Amino acid sequence: MSKQVVPHGLGVTPVRSAYQQIADQLRSLIVSGELSPGDRLPSEPELGQAFGVGRSTVREALRSLSSQHLVYTSRGVNGGTFVADVDPRTITAYLETSLGLLSASGLTVDELLTVREMLEVPAARLAATERTDDELAALRTAVEQENAESGTQHEHPQGFHILLLTCAHNGLLEVVTQPIFSVLKNRFLRGNAPSEFWDQVCLDHQGMVEAIDRRDADTAGELMQHHLHRLREAYLEMDRR
Amino acid sequence: MSKQVVPHGLGVTPVRSAYQQIADQLRSLIVSGELSPGDRLPSEPELGQAFGVGRSTVREALRSLSSQHLVYTSRGVNGGTFVADVDPRTITAYLETSLGLLSASGLTVDELLTVREMLEVPAARLAATERTDDELAALRTAVEQENAESGTQHEHPQGFHILLLTCAHNGLLEVVTQPIFSVLKNRFLRGNAPSEFWDQVCLDHQGMVEAIDRRDADTAGELMQHHLHRLREAYLEMDRR
DNA sequence: GGAAGTTAAACGTCTGACGTATTGCCGTCA
DNA sequence: TGACGGCAATACGTCAGACGTTTAACTTCC
């Protein structure tokens, strides 16, 4: 019988290796809250003795946890391994690379744009009602900068959208939306968009800023919707080529 | 904005340790696509020689990558380390633990529910238009099961929502919505909800299934909206206690 | 030709050692 | 007295080598 190779680590492995088991145990201590951010784990030799394994094994388990940003280590006396407190930017970064890979195989532009609409249209509405004056000023600055570099590279089209997300005052919204935005940008903005495209983008952004200025949620939402529909067409166009 | 000195690894470290540098280099090879899923990396000793480091160091770098599900290893002859292909479930799992930790410190119920509404209301609309007959049948089954265990534990309230997400036929939507749902559930459903609450939930679900049966997106969306509003009140109520 | 045993490649783990960063102590000196 | 500078201790970082374990391929024998 021909053995089918498991695509990746999903098939249940008969025995989990020692470093995995140790990582699992420590992880569950952390996510369950038995270990709080800032807590210091025993030193590597102590952990090794506690689990009955060598230091190499402990270190591999710790590397595993630290790459998930659950712990971090520092050297020197009073150094050691500490439980990390979660940073939303960590999650954003992970999502960005993961979704980037997914989009390279399996994830369609349409799916990305659909979810982006679900999030950014309400975000624009929220921004209109929740924004502070400082944030409004920052939005204006971003749009002006976009206008200034009209015709050139447009290096920072993300400025506006990300600022708008912060205006909504919802950390989770930022965390999930920003990676989607980045993936779309990285995948399809290879600098080969016509100049009129960017002019229209600037106009859209400007209109939204004014609606947000007036705290006009309905208009802001509608403008975002139209804006994203235009983007969809442009992206699909680029995708065909 | 009182912030601690260095929350965690963000302060620039003068020198990145060897295993981090190696992990970084390999990671960028993978995300840039120079290494494709299924490709086999050189053996650990070979990598060590190539990078000019010891095998332990290479292994720590590989552990780092494997915990991010970028590579997986298998033993035996013809074993080795291979570039993994991304599995959406991996992302879902990571998001679930990360958001769980975030919700333990900093993320409010309100934020979670707001984003959930943004995603699930359109999802219900999509489900109504995009569902297949098989999926509709599965939804019916889930609701019937809920009704059957009315008054008992309600172990599987997630069945309905997750099935509904799959009906939308948008992988990204599933990936981001499911963790939000799970976090809310784990955090607030400690089995201390009154029986009438569950009865109402079942009614809501049933109404949605019927709307989805008729491919009535407007009604499905509205029902989901009302459903989530009711949940919001219930969650906030529980949160106060 | 098929089943059972052998082999070899690669990962998994351990041990011990040495390097290096960091901190705190402590003594010296102005 | 107080500040500066060096020493020591601690804990992570890295290396080298050895041995165990897993697994697929090869070999042998019936």
Looking at residue A146, its pLDDT comes to 80
pLDDT given at position B143:
87
Are B111 and A67 an interchain contact pair (Cβ–Cβ within 8 Å)?
Answer: no
In a domain, A217, yes or no: yes
Q: Are residues A94 and A72 in the same domain?
A: no
User: Are B116 and B205 part of one and the same domain?
Assistant: yes
Whether A69 and A114 map to the same domain: the answer is: no
- Has residue B3 been placed in a domain? no
Alpha-carbon distance of B153 to B198, in angstroms, equals 10
pLDDT averaged over every residue in chain A: 85
Residue found under tokens 């059957």 = B148
| CB contacts, 8 Å: B72 with chain A | 8-9
Segment A73-91 mean pLDDT: 91
Inter-chain CB proximity B8 and A122 less than 8 Å: no
Residue where one domain finishes, among candidates B58, B83, B108? B83
Tell me the shortest Cα–Cα distance from A241 to chain B, in angstroms: 20
Domain around A58: 18-83
Report the distance separating Cα A79 and Cα A7, nearest Å: 40
Spatial distance from the CA of B212 to the C1' of C16 (Å): 67
H helix runs in A76-189, sequence order = 88-104, 109-130, 133-148, 158-167, 171-188
- Residue B11 within any structural domain of the chain: no
Distance CA A173, CA A92 (A): 11
Partner-chain contact A172 B112, CB within 8 Å? yes
Question: How far apart are the C-alpha atoms of A165 and A123, rounded to whole Å?
Answer: 6
pLDDT over threshold 80, residue A7: no
Q: What is the pLDDT of residue A5?
A: 34
Residues B156 and B132 in one domain: yes
Residues A73 and A101 in one domain: no
Give residue A3's pLDDT band: very low, low, confident or very high (50, 70, 90).
Answer: very low
- A78 and A93 together in one domain: no
Shortest distance between the Cα of A37 and any Cα of chain B, in A, equals: 10
In a domain, A2, yes or no: no
Length, in residues, of chain A: 241
Is the domain of A109 the same as that of A178? yes
> Measured between alpha carbons, how far is B195 from A220 in angstroms, rounded to an integer?
41
Chain A residue closest to B9 (CA)?
A72
Asked if residue A105 lies in contact with residue B85, where contact means CB atoms within 8 angstroms, the answer is yes
Note the pLDDT of residue A156.
56
CATH number of the CATH domain containing B195: 1.20.120.530
For residue A236, what is the enclosing H or E element? Answer: helix A217-240
Q: What is the pLDDT of residue B237?
A: 76
What is the tens place of the pLDDT at every residue in A132-186? 999 999 999 988 888 777 655 555 556 789 999 999 999 999 999 999 999 988 8
Tell me whether residue B136 is in a domain.
yes
A61 alpha carbon, distance to own chain's centre = 25
Q: Test B64 with A64 for CB contact under 8 angstroms.
A: yes
Residues A168 and A209 in one domain: yes
**Minimal CA separation from A36 to chain B, in Å:** 10
Domain boundary among B65, B83, B101: B83
Same domain (yes/no): A23, A114:
no
φ/ψ (deg, to 5) at B33? 90, 0
Summarize the confidence of residues A7-30 as an average pLDDT. Answer: 74
**A117-129: string of b/e by CB count within 10 Å (b at 16+)?**
bbbbbbbbbbbbe
Same-domain pairing of B69 and B160: no
pLDDT score of A4: 32
Q: Which of A124-128, A181-185, A236-240 has the lowest mean pLDDT?
A: A236-240
pLDDT at A68 over 50: yes
Residue B46 has φ and ψ, to the nearest 5°, of -65, -45
Span CA (A79) to C1' (D4), Å: 25
Cβ contact, residue pair B8, A85, below 8 Å: yes
- Determine how many CB atoms are found less than 10 A away from the CB of residue A132: 10
Q: Nearest 5°: CA angle at B13, between B10 and B14? A: 155
Q: Which of A115, A116, A165, A184 is the best residue to mutate to test the B interface, defined by the most B CB atoms within 10 Å of its own CB?
A: A115
pLDDT at A151: 55
Which 23-52 residues of chain B approach strand D with CB closer than 7 Å?
48, 52
pLDDT score at A143: 87
> Does residue B37 sit within a domain?
yes
Lowest mean pLDDT among A16-20, A113-117, B80-84, B233-237: B233-237
Protein-nucleic contacts, chain B 53-82 to strand D, CB < 7 Å: 53-57, 60, 74-79
**Overall average pLDDT of the A35-45 stretch:** 93
Which is higher by pLDDT, A134 or A15? Answer: A134
Mutation target vs B (from A67, A110, A170; most B CBs, 10 A cutoff)? A67
Same domain (yes/no): B202, B156: yes
> Out of B67, B106, B173, whose CB is closest to A68?
B67
Q: How far apart are CA A181 and CA A161, in angstroms?
A: 8
Q: Supply the CATH number for residue A51's domain.
A: 1.10.10.10
Mean pLDDT of A118-123: 96
Cβ–Cβ of A91/B68 closer than 8 Å? no
> pLDDT-derived band of residue A2, with 50, 70 and 90 as boundaries?
very low
DSSP chain B: ----S-SSTTSPPSS--HHHHHHHHHHHHHHTTSS-TTPBPPPHHHHHHHHTS-HHHHHHHHHHHHHTTSEEEE-STT-EEEEPPP-HHHHHHHHHHHHHHHHHTT--HHHHHHHHHHHHHHHHHHHHHH--HHHHHHHHHHHHHHHHTTTS----THHHHHHHHHHTT-HHHHHHHHHHHHHHHHHH-SS---HHHHHHHHHHHHHHHHHHHTT-HHHHHHHHHHHHHHHHHHHHHHHH-
Q: Are A70 and A84 in contact (CB under 8 A)?
A: yes
Nearest to A60 among B63, B85, B91 (CB): B63
The pLDDT of residue B195 is 74
- Which residue type, as a one-letter code, is found at position A150? S
pTM (predicted TM-score): 0.84
**Residue labelled with tokens 């060897």:** B18
Rg of chain A on CA atoms, in Å: 23
In terms of domains, do A137 and A52 share one?
Answer: no
Residue B4: inside a domain? no
Which of A83, A100, A133 delimits the end of a domain?
A: A83
Q: Domain tally for chain A?
A: 2
Q: Mean pLDDT of successive 10-residue segments in chain B (241 residues)?
A: 34 72 94 92 95 95 94 92 91 91 87 95 95 92 80 62 93 94 80 73 90 94 93 78 59
pLDDT attached to residue B49: 94
* Residue A3 placed within a domain: no
